[in-house]
């Protein structure tokens, strides 16, 4: 364009640009303020009245201050019908983006219940798909803050398709990046399945629920009258179903624990968990352990006290604390390095393995193996739980899950027998023969096919029956069996235990063993994937 033509033009470009730039920036600020503010003050008050925070308030609690960078703030749906075309709020009911937790990058999405009840529509799903893809590409954890009412009914099958994309990405990311679901409101149908595919599920009591079909449908179909919390509340899933790994009374403490868990996990499966300096001495003697564990195998004790004595500063995070309480699964540190602990709990069902404990342990071992977390197994196990219900419920199939998980794990594995280790449960709980790298025992250990009393009744039943004093004979045979096959050094003499150690030296020995195994490398056979028991 010539100078003359420019002069004759109705608006000179330079003049228009200068004026419009300031106006457009002001417009942008207003739009962003509207998006951050949300639909209305009344909607925010209603959210607070239910004891719930808003999506952005939750993100602020989760992430380091001023670290959040939002993605897709200006996204709006394009659906029509049922009045949707007249209601097109920014964000479309989900806030997505990334920030840091303890200085490490984390991706997050948070349902905004104030907009369409947090229900998922096409644009809403596309935002979640985007942030999940970004998390995978960056190799960083993904945290979902769930407070949504399921699929957006007005959008029909398009909304359902959005869930399919989330499920597919959850599965693709499994074992690659940590995925954490935080349940902060009612989540039904498809909204409950994505959390079930993730590594950890947190729930807040009273305000959070998870179920496939709600109480009204349950009552219509079965006649059972149940409340929302009675059907799928935090306590139900933390104690009965095992769906929730953690349950808390309020959102603040819940999100603080999410931050703590993230500090124990690597960013992805190509990294090791972050180390943390500690002033707890490596060679600290644990004299209390000698008295904590009774020699009498029939006397219970709290395995948590043993773990507390061994780990750095007595601090550990127990996973599934209230479900399958006969087995403890926890994350802790030894000399600043993260370790996964699997331990029998003699205070609950004498520490036996049952269906739930086997599933709990298998899932935890798989998680540790996926994210390069060494595994320490503390054994005090009398065997698998006998009974018709257990057999009919598939204890063979479920117990095999734990066995498969251990056999398939390539991370450093150390097992320590504190007291008794009987039968198949001894083999399953990471014995040397299924691949434990280091196997240790205390001088109070008893490794056998079964307890001495049961073994004597089987082996010497004829002698006992023929004796003038059967009880005296049984007592003598029990002592004989223990002396021959159950003394503390029997397994060590046959190479099934690498060393028998002083309980007071346990922490030092474990840390030395973990340091020795730090660069362990193990290859699995080339295969598409295994076919684990289900």
Q: Catalytic: 399?
A: no
Whole-number Å distance between alpha carbons of 21 and 13: 12
CA distances from 14 to 6, 26, 411 (A): 10, 19, 64
Q: Among residues 190, 233, 340, 351, which one is catalytic?
A: 190
Determine how β-strand 327-334 pairs with β-strand 316-319. Answer: antiparallel
Whole-number Å distance between alpha carbons of 351 and 415: 16
> What is the H or E stretch that residue 316 is in?
strand 316-319
**Per the structure block, which two tokens stand in for 349?**
């069902």
Q: Catalytic: 230?
A: no
Contact 303, 327 (CB under 8 A): no
Q: Among residues 139, 165, 423, 424, which one is catalytic?
A: 424
Structure letter (DSSP) for residue 376: E
Whole-number Å distance between alpha carbons of 220 and 216: 6
Q: Catalytic: 189?
A: yes
Q: Taking the CA atoms of 44, 49, 54 and 59 in sequence, report the sign of the dihedral they define.
A: positive
* Residue at token pair 């009911």: 93
Q: Among residues 117, 156, 165, 189, which one is catalytic?
A: 189
> What is the H or E stretch that residue 49 is in?
helix 41-49
**Per the structure block, which two tokens stand in for 119?**
């229900």
Whole-number Å distance between alpha carbons of 47 and 114: 7
Whole-number Å distance between alpha carbons of 79 and 230: 36
Cβ–Cβ contacts within 10 Å for residue 213, how many?
14
φ, ψ for residue 533, nearest 5 deg: -60, 145
* Residue at token pair 């009393």: 453
Active-site residue list: 189-190, 424-425
């Amino acid at each position: 364009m010539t100078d003359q033509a420019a002069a004759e033009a109705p608006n000179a470009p330079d003049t228009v640009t200068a004026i419009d730039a300031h106006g457009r920036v002001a417009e942008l600020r207003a739009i962003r303020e509207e998006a951050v503010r949300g639909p209305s003050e009344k909607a925010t008050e209603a959210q607070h009245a239910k004891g719930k925070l808003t999506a952005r308030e939750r993100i602020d609690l989760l992430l380091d201050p001023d670290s959040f960078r939002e993605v897709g703030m200006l996204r709006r749906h394009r659906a029509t019908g049922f009045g949707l075309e007249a209601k097109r709020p920014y964000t479309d009911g989900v806030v997505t983006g990334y920030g840091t937790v303890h200085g490490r990058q984390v991706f997050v999405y948070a349902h905004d219940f104030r907009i369409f009840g947090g229900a998922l529509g096409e644009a809403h799903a596309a935002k979640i798909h985007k942030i999940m893809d970004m998390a995978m590409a960056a190799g960083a954890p993904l945290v979902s803050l769930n407070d949504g009412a399921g699929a957006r009914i007005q959008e029909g099958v398009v909304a359902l398709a959005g869930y399919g994309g989330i499920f597919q990405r959850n599965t693709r990311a499994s074992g690659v990046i940590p995925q954490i679901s935080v349940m902060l409101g009612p989540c039904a149908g498809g909204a409950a399945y994505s959390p079930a595919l993730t590594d950890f599920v947190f729930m807040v009591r009273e305000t959070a629920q998870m179920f496939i079909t709600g109480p009204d449908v349950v009552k219509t179909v079965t006649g059972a009258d149940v409340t929302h919390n009675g059907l799928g509340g935090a306590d139900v899933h933390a104690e009965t179903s095992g769906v929730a790994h953690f349950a808390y009374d309020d959102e603040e403490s819940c999100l603080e624990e999410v931050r703590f868990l993230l500090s124990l996990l690597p960013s992805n499966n190509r990294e090791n968990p972050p180390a943390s300096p500690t002033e707890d001495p490596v060679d600290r003697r644990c004299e209390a352990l000698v008295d904590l564990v009774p020699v009498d195998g029939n006397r219970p004790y709290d395995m948590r006290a043993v773990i507390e004595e061994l780990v750095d500063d007595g601090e550990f995070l127990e996973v599934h604390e209230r479900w399958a309480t006969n087995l403890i699964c926890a994350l802790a540190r030894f000399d600043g390095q993260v370790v996964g602990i699997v331990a029998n709990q003699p205070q609950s069902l004498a520490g036996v393995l049952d269906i739930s404990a086997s599933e709990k342990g298998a899932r935890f071992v798989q998680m540790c193996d996926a994210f390069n977390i060494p595994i320490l197994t503390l054994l005090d196990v009398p065997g698998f739980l006998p009974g018709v219900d257990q057999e009919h419920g598939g204890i063979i199939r479920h117990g095999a899950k734990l066995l498969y998980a251990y056999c398939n794990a390539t991370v450093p594995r150390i097992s320590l027998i504190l007291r008794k280790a009987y039968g198949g449960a001894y083999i399953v709980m990471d014995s040397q023969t299924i691949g434990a790298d280091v196997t240790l025992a205390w001088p109070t250990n008893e490794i056998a096919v079964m307890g001495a009393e049961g073994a004597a009744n089987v082996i010497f039943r004829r002698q006992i029956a023929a004796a003038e004093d059967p009880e005296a004979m049984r007592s003598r045979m029990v002592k004989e069996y223990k002396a021959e096959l159950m003394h503390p050094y029997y397994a060590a003499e046959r190479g099934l235990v690498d060393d028998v150690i002083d309980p007071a030296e346990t922490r030092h020995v474990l840390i030395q063993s973990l340091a020795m195994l730090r660069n362990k490398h193990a290859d699995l056979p080339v295969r598409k994937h295994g076919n684990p028991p289900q």
